[in-house]
Amino acid sequence: MRSRFVRLTRIPHFVPLAVAMLLLGVALSFTAPYLSLFGIEQAGMSPLRLGLFMTLISASGVVASTMAGRWSDRHGKHRVPLIGSLAAAALGYLALCFVRDYTALIVIGVALLGTGAASLSQVFAFGRSVLPLDDAAQADFALAALRTLLSAAWVFGPAVGALILAQTGFLGLFAFAAASFAASAVLVFRIPEIAPARHRVTLREGETAVDHDTPHAAANKAHAATQPAGPNVIIRALLALTLIGLAANATMIVLPLFIVHGLNGTRLEVSAALGLGALLEIPMMLWLGAKSPQLAKPRWLTAAAVLHTLYFVALAAASKPGMVVPLQVLSAAVVAITSCLGMTYIQDLMPRQTGAATALFFNAARVGSILSGVLSGTIVGTLGYRAAFLMCGALTFCALVLLAAGDLPVRQLFERQPLRAVRNAARRLWLWRPSRRQAARED
């Protein structure tokens, strides 16, 4: 494992790209946990207005990510939309330092924060584009390492953000986040995006240099040689990831409010819960990234849906902040699996459209967040926090059925045989136990 990290650091442009990714993660970890608190405490939003605000940001992010993915695939360039989205995010959070009017916040959210949301998908497509990797396994490990840096930022980001918030208020918090977005954009600007041409890369001393036809290297050659999956498989996977994303985004909105206002906790307890989850994600992501080519991605995603369902049931039963923190083990496992294996799974299903596949993966979460804002705001306002968590558990159970029910069309799955689909999903999970897999190998 250590030698693989050494090889990554010797790949051209990996280190500056990793720093840019870390800065992006810092900016996100400073803003995402406290944006809902900003809406309630500073802008005076009701739960429903907050939900609408978050929903419009997410909808704008879906549009921006889709357009950026299509443009980058068509032109073969990812740096321009990435820098544009980072600059938009920096301007958006700089504006939040001073604006409190609800209508103006909606305009800022749609025009700038939503556009900035495209940076998360574009940075991975940009990484796959500019890093000359010698095989598919190394490509998956490099993307997992980059994704781990986002989690590393979330280990300390919410806690540092809470301290900055306590000392300087939302002005200092959003200003620091804007500076992080801007610094990330500067680093990306300094990384050249070379036009397709043959070049050579030596990954280790004494190792034979490897020829590459494009900046994507041999990993993308093998990726492009893979036959695309049928539309039914892609639709089921994206729908399941959308439901998981809906639940995850609703949690990001509701959990800080639940800890502070529902359980009478503190902002430091919010940062402790989020920071622990991010810390646990790091070793999980590294292991999954290293083993990704050997893992059955649909089954692991199904297991993630099971853990997510259990997580929300447990959250609904929590009665004090101290009970929320250990539950982040389940949340960390879900994030690690869906982030590392979900993105590469969609890319595997669409091997000739890396930019579009990456955008679709992140848009699956954002489409869920479009609904999560209004649904969570409405349910919290009428039924309370626990009902919102139970709703999330029901959504992740539907994702479990979609992922585990085999190759049935989505329409047939939900309109004709829903009970049989649930039974088949349970049977597949039962047969997937480690003891059954070991017995199958021995046979």
* pLDDT averaged per 10 residues, the chain (length 443): 66 85 90 86 86 85 84 82 94 95 94 90 81 67 77 78 88 95 94 57 40 43 50 80 85 83 82 79 79 80 92 91 88 86 79 69 72 72 84 90 65 47 51 47 47
Mind listing the domains of the chain with CATH numbers?
2-194+211-404 (1.20.1250.20)
Query: In 3-state terms, the chain is what percent helix, strand and coil (to 5)?
Result: 80, 0, 20
Residues 258, 215: Cα–Cα separation, whole Å: 46
Q: Tokens standing for 68?
A: 């950026």
Burial 302-317 (b: 16+ CB within 10 A, else e): bbbbbbbbebbbbbbe
Q: Looking at residue 146, what is its pLDDT?
A: 81
Look-up of token digits 């360039």? 77
Residues 25, 119: Cα–Cα separation, whole Å: 11
Output the pTM of the full model. 0.65
Q: Looking at residue 305, what is its pLDDT?
A: 92
What are the φ and ψ backbone dihedral angles of 121, each rounded to 5 degrees? -80, -35
Q: Looking at residue 230, what is its pLDDT?
A: 59
Residues 179, 31: Cα–Cα separation, whole Å: 12
**SS3 category, 31:** helix
Q: Looking at residue 373, what is its pLDDT?
A: 67
β-strands 210-212, 199-201 pairing: antiparallel
* Contact (CB, 8 A) for 177 and 165: no
Instruction: Name the nearest CA neighbour of 188 among 196, 180, 176.
Output: 180
